[in-house]
Structures are given as structure tokens and as C-alpha cells.
Structure 1
Amino acid sequence: MSDKMTPVTITDKAVKEIKEIIRHKNIPAEYGLRIGIKGGVGCAGVSFLLGFDKKKETDDEFEIDGITVYLEKKHFMYLIGMQVDFYEGADARGFSFVKQEDA
């Protein structure tokens, strides 16, 4: 695991939901939570990714609230100051990425 500070934070609600997914979907122990981006070419900007994956050579590894997190080194600049949150309401349910103002 890295001694560096992770560029991403995860809210308590999101941590709880991630741990529930790990438990209910029987995610293997060698998998971690991958936080990353896709896109970024042209005007479209980037989309954020969240999923479970094995560690790659190009990853840094962190632990956030007992969850192993993998981040590709080349994605760091896009992820600095981002927070993963979980929303559950009558209209929608899911994870979101929010830029933290104080980051």
C-alpha cells in the first residue's frame, strides 16, 4: 500500500454501499475498488469510473475506510479533490463524483 495521501475521498454512505456490494456480490479478496476516468479527448471532457478490478502495474494502491482502492497513476490529476458519494432517493440511486471545494 502507498503511504501517499489519496487524491480521492469516499463518503460514509458510499463506503457502506461499497462494502455491501463486496459482501453481496462475493467480490474476490484480490480485487480492489478501481476509481478512474475515461475519455478526455476534445470537448466531451472526462467520465469517472468506479468498479472492481485486480491491481495493475501502473496503479497506486490506497486503503480508504478498510477498502482497497486502485488508481492509475496517469489519472491522478483528474481525480485530485474528488469525492465519491452515494445517493439514494425516490428518483434515482447510485454513486456520484463531486469536486470538493476545500481540496
Structure 2
Amino acid sequence: MALEDDNLDDVISSLIDEDPDGDQQSHEGLPGFPEVSGEVSEHPIQLTERAARQINKIQSDEDLDEELYLRVAVEGGGCSGLSYKLGFDVRTDEDNVYESQGMEVIVNPKHIIYLNGIQIDYPDGLDARGFTFENPNASEACGCGSSFAV
């Protein structure tokens, strides 16, 4: 997984320009990417109650180590250009930690530009089941909701 993460970080790093202070990031001047910049909101990652319940259930059912955190990330690929990644991972010194619904969520700072303000839900009705992502940064999304473009 480390090789995949390194490749993902390289791809994302090549797509963004970082302010030396890390406060603002932008795609300005890159073809195919609109400008995405601004401050990270106070609560950039929001889990709904249903999503938090399902994440706790998975963690309990799988008897996962308590040192693992919920990681939210993006990777290149999917119908619309970027795909969401959601899973349990070890926290690194580089990660930012956010709290939502009593859970600590880790995000690599290079990914927050794409995730800032995202709401993760887990509908479990007849017409929808599984994690969904409502991302205010997405200019378009695929039909299944697992990939997006900015």
C-alpha cells in the first residue's frame, strides 16, 4: 500500500501548487482543472450518524486494532477523474486529524483540497446502500457517486 500511496501523493502533488504556509492550494494555470483554493473549514470532514454507526460496526465486526483510524482520501481514476478512498489505516506524522460524530478521521493534507466540506453518509434503504459522498468541491460526479471531478 505504501507504493500506491506514494504514487497517489505524487499525482496529487503534481496537480496542485501549495502555498509555503500550507494555507491555500490552487490548480491555477493547469489545463482541465479549475482554481480550487481557500482555507480549510473548521469541520472539513463530516460523518452522518448512520455513517459513523456503520464504521463502528465494521471496526467491531472485523476486530480491527484500536490504533487504526478512519482514513478519507482521493486517488486518480474513476469515471470522472478522481475517486474516493475510505478505509482504516495507521496515522502518520503527516496526517491531519479531524473529529466527526466522536470519531477521529485522518486525511493527508494533500487531499484536503478535494475533500474540504465533504459529508459522508451510509443510506441503508431499498434504493441505496453503501457509503455516499456529498462533496461541495465536485463540479461533476459519476452516476454511482464514487468518483468526481473538480
* Both structures adopt the same fold (TM-score exceeding 0.5): yes
Q: Distance in 2 between matches of 1:26 and 1:5?
A: 31
Amino acid of the residue matched to residue 122 of structure 2?
F
Structure 1 residue 31 corresponds to structure 2 residue 68 = yes
Q: Distance in 2 between matches of 1:58 and 1:24?
A: 29
Amino acid of the residue matched to residue 53 of structure 1?
D
| Alignment: residue pair count | 96
1:88 match: 124
Q: Distance in 2 between matches of 1:46 and 1:9?
A: 19
Q: CA deviation at 1:10?
A: 0.6
Give CA-to-partner distance per residue, 1:33-76, whole Å, 9 cap, x none.
00010016xx8421111000001232111222221211000001
Q: Percent identity?
A: 36
Larger Rg: 2
The TM-score normalised by the length of structure 2 is 0.57
Structure 1 segments of 4 or more deviating over 4 A?
none
Q: Distance in 2 between matches of 1:63 and 1:36?
A: 15
The match for 1:63 among 86, 99, 109 is 99
The TM-score normalised by the length of structure 1 is 0.81
**How big is the alpha-carbon RMSD for the aligned residues of Structure 1 and Structure 2?**
2.1
List gaps (5 residues or longer) in structure 1: none
Structure 1 residue 8 corresponds to structure 2 residue 45 = yes
List gaps (5 residues or longer) in structure 2: 1-40, 138-150
Q: Distance in 1 between matches of 2:81 and 2:106?
A: 22
